[in-house]
Structure 1
Amino acid sequence: MSVRRLESMLPFLSRDLAIDLGTAGTRIHVRGRGIMLNEPSLVAVDPDTGQIVAFGAEATKTTGMVTVRPVRNGVIVEPDAARRMLRHFVHKVHGHPFARPRMTIAVPGGITSIERKVALEAAYEAQARQITFMEQPLAAALGAGLELADPIAAIVVDVGRGTTDVAAVSMGRAVAVRSMRTGGEAMDSAIKLEVRRAYGVVIDDRTAESLKQQLGVACEPLAGCRMEVSGAHPRHGAPMYATVSAECVYEAIDPAVRAIVEAVREVIESCSPEIAADVARRGLLLTGGGARLSGLPRRLRRDLGIPVARVDTPEHTVALGLGLWAARN
């Protein structure tokens, strides 16, 4: 087969990829096949040589290595590591060695031109033939089952690990948007600080995440519930233990929850009366991994007085929406 003939066939050999490159994890939806990759957005680095030795799930299994998150607050902060990680992930799901796929990539609502350029370079490094960016709230809306051409407006709240995007969606566009660089990661950091303040113990990110999952509630603390954790002394690093109360976790995460509530309130108040009336009737859709925080739908219903529904698989909503969009365009 001639080179020219092979080049003409490459677009047909490739599959469109929809990529949710998140702070916590990366999900890749392959056209016609669904979500084919769901791995942590992590790279493992050898502390002696500085070389990257593993990506994603494999990075969590390495010993003696330093793990790095190339994506923070929904944007790339370690460009070289992010490029190599994305290329590795794309290679895992895209079988043909020569074909260059089209890619649709989710970006936060408040992304800057510089951050967008870094994402563009990472995608081209991963052998993209064509790149389309889609704002996360619109992708989440589509993945949650909303038709973008629907004239009846709804609000989508996508609570990720690094960012929370709130958007009123109507007729295929976000008519009002509020993007915050706060999410599950900010809650974990607040838990770490509060545990240190209240118990004098330094805990790691994984322990903070476990406390949030086991004791974290958006509405009110679980009375009498406690969890024993291990950590270190803040000065000399000796092992220490503490029995952390649900009240402590609630105090830590409540400011982030209130910020989400206020962001939704601001979006509603910035809408026209007609769209605000639609939202009051249709309500709010919760997506993103942070939407799993216990009691968050109830807190939003209580404080805002509108219907709230959490999608069945909130972590996958953006990737599914991107896949639907790519398939239609």
Structure 2
Amino acid sequence: MTALRTDIGIDLGTATVLVYLKGKGIVLNEPSVVAIDYNTNKILAVGEEAKRMLGRTPGNIVAIRPMKDGVISDFDITERMLKYFFAKTVGKAIFKPRAIICVPSGITEVEKRAVLEASSHAGSRKTYLIEEPIASAIGAGIDITQPDGNMIVDIGGGTTDVAVISLGGIVVSKSIKVAGDECNEAIARYIRKKHNMMIGERTAENLKISIGTAYPKEKELYMEIRGRNLMTGLPKNIKISSSEMLEALEEPVYQIVETVHNVLEKTPPELAADIGNKGIFMTGGGALLQGLNKLIMDRTGIDTYVIEDPVSAVAIGTGRALDWIRFLDSDSIDSNSIRSHNS
């Protein structure tokens, strides 16, 4: 039997797009990358296939990441990417789907409108927005409706959102454009400066995932990488240690920890006491950086936990919020309003 209407939750991330289908859970997890032929303006690949093309395309083909710092940087490509993901997850539904999309807590009204319109143009009947810290908390299984303070540190690809949540709303929050991508860039800069070698984005990310750390390790780890020697222009192999990664990641990690500290300073005393008792919860792919929770714990004196599935938390929370879709009308747009506005 074909469903009359499908509701979907979308974690529209800078690095990855996750789609939650009501009744099925997460049905799509792919990089937010689009490969396009500039000569014909035709999309050649989306998602994982397009990511493999990053840094390896001829002149007429460009692999684009249309999301930057948690917001849309290329409206047309984002719209086409969403259209592809809608078709892949929903298929030929009788009615257009309703969608909830999560956005960073520091997003502007103009940036919100861009997300709403891109989703509507891509094929959603009606689109609603939910802030990432709220979605993360729901996805982590926290009951945000209670009058208790809960602190969420959501580290994505483009932004880090730190928020204190109580009674279903954000009491104090701060969003910074320092997250997974900035860590990758910091690693590439470090390798270029110290070893006089150029490496690509994917190599930097592999280093971060394999031996990256924000806290001194008891046992040194090593990884061999290949890049281009800036002096000779030829390929070169070098071995990188986890101690070097600690040094390379010092600046972005420090900014994240300082943001957590700043939000705690602005938190009302009663809620701060709740956080002291419960601890700080980390979500997002960036939460998997080894030792980051230990560093935050050292800096704040508060137990800091990485939730069980940090990468999927926002998407799961966005999907669960579908049950409350009728309460989210304050930030929504429907395809009919778009058509009437454009006509």
* Same-fold call, TM cutoff 0.5: yes
Q: Secondary structure at the match of 1:306?
A: coil
Are the counterparts in 2 of residues 70 and 76 from structure 1 also a CA contact under 8 Å? yes
Task: Pick the aligned partner of 2:183 from 187, 197, 208.
Answer: 187
Which residue identity does 1:17 align to in structure 2? I
Q: CA deviation at 1:256?
A: 1.4
Q: CA deviation at 1:47?
A: 5.3
Aligned to 1:44: 35
Aligned to 2:10: 19
CA distance in 2, matches of 1:134, 1:144: 15
Task: Pick the aligned partner of 2:87 from 87, 91, 105.
Answer: 91
CA distance in 2, matches of 1:260, 1:58: 31
Q: CA deviation at 1:49?
A: 3.9
Relative distance call for 1:245 and 1:163 in structure 2 (3 A) is same
CA distance in 2, matches of 1:146, 1:58: 35
Q: CA deviation at 1:40?
A: 0.8
Are the counterparts in 2 of residues 195 and 248 from structure 1 also a CA contact under 8 Å? no
Aligned to 2:324: 328
CA distance in 2, matches of 1:83, 1:162: 19
CA distance in 1, matches of 2:21, 2:220: 46
Q: Does 1:259 align with 2:248?
A: no
Normalising by the residue count of structure 1, what TM-score does the alignment of the two structures yield? 0.92
CA distance in 1, matches of 2:188, 2:111: 29
Which residue identity does 2:30 align to in structure 1? E
Q: CA deviation at 1:237?
A: 3.0
Task: Pick the aligned partner of 2:271 from 268, 275, 281.
Answer: 275
Q: CA deviation at 1:61?
A: 4.9
Q: CA deviation at 1:260?
A: 1.3
Are the counterparts in 2 of residues 221 and 250 from structure 1 also a CA contact under 8 Å? no
CA distance in 2, matches of 1:238, 1:46: 29
Q: CA deviation at 1:252?
A: 1.3
CA distance in 2, matches of 1:224, 1:280: 33
Are the counterparts in 2 of residues 168 and 174 from structure 1 also a CA contact under 8 Å? yes
Relative distance call for 1:240 and 1:222 in structure 2 (3 A) is farther
Which residue identity does 1:254 align to in structure 2? E
Normalising by the residue count of structure 2, what TM-score does the alignment of the two structures yield? 0.89
Unaligned runs of 5+ in 1: 1-9
Aligned to 1:34: 25
Are the counterparts in 1 of residues 5 and 93 from structure 2 also a CA contact under 8 Å? no
Unaligned runs of 5+ in 2: 326-343
Which residue identity does 1:126 align to in structure 2? A
CA distance in 2, matches of 1:114, 1:327: 27
Q: Secondary structure at the match of 2:237?
A: strand
Aligned to 2:239: 243
Task: Pick the aligned partner of 2:126 from 125, 130, 133.
Answer: 130
Q: Secondary structure at the match of 2:198?
A: coil
Are the counterparts in 2 of residues 43 and 69 from structure 1 also a CA contact under 8 Å? yes
Are the counterparts in 1 of residues 4 and 95 from structure 2 also a CA contact under 8 Å? yes
Task: Pick the aligned partner of 1:119 from 108, 112, 115.
Answer: 115
Which residue identity does 1:28 align to in structure 2? V
Deviations 1:226-280 (A, max 9, x none): 2221111236632122222222211111211111111111111101111111111
C-alpha RMSD over aligned residues: 1.7
Q: CA deviation at 1:57?
A: 2.1
Are the counterparts in 2 of residues 13 and 96 from structure 1 also a CA contact under 8 Å? no
Q: Secondary structure at the match of 1:318?
A: helix
Aligned to 2:214: 218
Q: Does 1:202 align with 2:198?
A: yes
Q: CA deviation at 1:48?
A: 4.7
CA distance in 2, matches of 1:47, 1:102: 32
Aligned to 1:5: none
CA distance in 1, matches of 2:176, 2:52: 32
Relative distance call for 1:48 and 1:231 in structure 2 (3 A) is farther
Are the counterparts in 2 of residues 215 and 222 from structure 1 also a CA contact under 8 Å? no
What is the aligned residue count? 319
Which residue identity does 2:238 align to in structure 1? A
CA distance in 2, matches of 1:58, 1:279: 42
Which residue identity does 2:49 align to in structure 1? E
CA distance in 2, matches of 1:83, 1:232: 36
**Bigger mean CA deviation after superposition, 185-194 or 146-155:** 146-155
**Bigger mean CA deviation after superposition, 158-167 or 238-247:** 238-247
